[in-house]
Amino acid sequence: MLSIADHACILDAATPHIVIERGVRLLHIWKLAETDAEHCAILLDHLNPPPGARILDAGCGVGEVARLMREQRPDLHFTLLNISQAQLDLAPAGMPQLLASFDDIPTPDESFDAVMFNHAICHAADWLTTFREAARVLRPGGRVLIYDMERQHGDNHLLAHHTHSTAWPWQQTRDTAALAGLDLVGVWFPEPVDTPLLRLMGDEAFYTTVFNGVRPMVMVLARDDSTNQGAQP
């Protein structure tokens, strides 16, 4: 996997073309509804945050998911975290920003009611480290929302080479999260209605080859308060 600095450089270089020139603000592989707003509403329903919740959007892209969720739930308070300054520069106003890695979140323990990883944790170098850090910044009873790829078969060789990401069977994700004190609430495998990344790539054969064996997954986890969150074994 790439270093954090190298990954940030790639994002900084690609963002103007994708977001400004192509007009794509929702940087997801698949969409679960016809419109971006409906897509984000589905994710928000799965997260089901309490009134007034403070939510960390970890690996937030340009903050479009948080923006659309805030339109639907104005009571929610989002913080945007990204390693790419170019993406944060295009994020909506009125949301605190953190230029940082989700493996080293610069906030105190128990700062948030929820943490979101939308097509983000796939880029983690060490998923256990990432989950431990999410558990650390969660308040008691807090939840983690993951919307990403789930590997049904095959390996990550082409995926890692071309997209600098990995996908694991959902059971492996669940078990790794459990080691960090995050328990499974539910997992879903929705049928997408659109594939924006395919249009961006413009090569169906290449897309099919790279993303062979993966499917959309929504997973919700909750902090297990019976353990010392984020503690090393």
Per-residue pLDDT tens over the stretch 153-170:
999 999 898 888 899 999
Supply the pTM of this predicted model: 0.89
In whole angstroms, what is the distance from residue 208 CA to residue 40 CA?
A: 25
From the list 185, 171, 179, the residue with the least C-alpha distance to 132 is 179
Q: With b meaning 16 or more CB within 10 Å and e meaning fewer, what string describes 187-218?
A: beebeeeebbbbeeeeeeeebeebbeebbbbb
Taking residues 108-137, what's their average pLDDT? 97
Handedness of CA 164, 90, 64, 70 (dihedral sign): positive
Which position has the token pair 């479009």? 64
Is the pLDDT score of 232 beyond 50? no
How far apart, in Å, are the Cα atoms of 80 and each of 42, 73, 93, 192, 198?
A: 20, 16, 11, 26, 26
Is the pLDDT score of 8 beyond 90? no
Is the pLDDT score of 51 beyond 80? yes
In whole angstroms, what is the distance from residue 93 CA to residue 125 CA?
A: 30
Is the pLDDT score of 99 beyond 50? yes
E strand or H helix that includes residue 56: strand 54-58
**Residue 55, φ and ψ in degrees, nearest 5:** -125, 130
In whole angstroms, what is the distance from residue 173 CA to residue 221 CA?
A: 10
Tally of helices (H runs) and strands (E runs) in the chain:
9, 7
Name the fold adopted by 4-223.
Answer: Rossmann fold (3.40.50)
Tens of pLDDT along 54-98?
Answer: 999 999 999 999 999 999 999 999 999 999 998 999 999 999 999
